[in-house]
Chains A and B, each alone.
Chain A
Amino acid sequence: MKYQTQKIALIYFAVALALFAVQVTMGLILGWIYVSPNFLSEILPFNIGRMLHTNSLVVWLLVGFFGAAYYLIPEEAEREIHSPLLAYLQLGILVLGTAGVVVTYLFNLFDGNFLLGNEGREFIEQPRWVKAGIVIAALIFLYNVSLTVLKGRKTAISNILLLGLWLLALLFLFAFYNPANLALDKQYWWFIVHLWVEATWELVMASILAFLMLKLTGVDREVVEKWLYVIAALALFSGILGTGHHYYWIGMPSYWQWIGSIFSTLEIAPFFAMMAFAFVMVWKGRRDHPNKAALLWSLGCAVTAFFGAGVWGFLHTLHGVNYYTHGTQITAAHGHLAFYGAYVMLNLAMFTYAMPVLRGRDPYNQVLNMAAFWLMTAGMAFMTFTLTFAGTIQTHMQRVEGVDFMSVQDQLWIFYVMRFGSGVAVVLGAYILIYALAFPRREVVKPGPVQSHKSAETPAE
């Protein structure tokens, strides 16, 4: 660690990991509700549990991005973060807001109150005071990191990262516009999370991946930056209009079917480019970095994102297909693998790279961490296949044959049992990973002669 203020990242990562634990635990409960629908139906209705599962995911990913920015911006800008105090204040606001949201939802406090009550809009249900807090926290963050970059060295990595973070913060402002017309409400609603995951988060992902590749493989910055610009251009070109694949289904004109189909098909391109980028960098790399686990997560992220976001997205993006599959378990399969591959694994790659440095621990081969990688990734892959099969059957029975929803759900029971099993693997993996990142102070497996020789040669960075 070269800069003292990089330490800020540690507390962000800790909060992110805590929320990660909440998210996957809630996922497991939901998985069981699919198997046994009356489970907890009185005290934790499905819609509340689902909201906690998705919202804690989004919040911990964002907190992870903020932490990653606080870690990598000092190294890129070659100077300390402008104000550590503001960074801690920002986290305090976010934690307070998150706690407020959870309490408000669980007990449905202040129902209908303009400022304190939940807004009742899927994914952006936050009470208005929390929304305002999120904006203040975002402004503090953007002020803090932008000023650091402006006063320091400007690199492609920090520029693209800041572009992504600025755009994502601006898009959140749509959360304040809540038209009475439900179709309009949905339209503005799409502009938030969908333009995040299909455009601005891809910029964040590309720049963090570029930073990791730079550190782990030792390839020239010039080469990394060229790839980064190409990936960012592809992400924005395909992502912004690619989001149009949803528009027809929420009441917009039918020509969006074609715009959405064509551009969203191209959304595979940036994910393919990121996968190619990661492997080419490792191939051309000159450095044998001792943090093998971080490299494993980085490559795993690029590959799984390509399959989850790219391939599984394309699977049902063409409007002739989506007409039948919209909102079935195929969507759930895509959602799980895409979020896991693109953004969960990206954050975990960054944590795996940065936490040993932040906690002053080496040589960090991290065997336990790698075991968690395989457990989680295999579990998630199995879950994706299970849900894809379930979705295919659901599409055929419900949308083609016209069997009613609940009868079809009964037929899918066996898939939901298998999905629960794969969910157990993912959650176990997540707990092991959190333990491996946060608790042991030394490696659990002693390095052999080759590895200890290498580690002595190449000091960690």
Chain B
Amino acid sequence: MTATQGWLALVILSGGSTLIAWWGGTGVLVALAILTLAWAKAQIVLNVYLGLSEAPGWSRGFALVLGLFMLGAMGLAVAAGAV
């Protein structure tokens, strides 16, 4: 993915989360959708902007830690929805 393709993907994904916000939906599924979009955006910034795709080992390491963070965030979002 080139920098420009990465940028386009980020703009589209950001548009997606802003659309969800405008639509005003609530609930656990909406929260999970928003966090999934954020997860994808973070992956693009790491691999394309920060160039981690050149260092596959580090890319995998960051992806793992980011994944754990996002799963933690999703877990807490689900818990908040259930309260």
Classify A-B as touching or not with yes or no (CB < 8 A).
no
Query: Measuring CB to CB, which residues of chain A are less than 8 angstroms from any residue of chain B?
Result: none
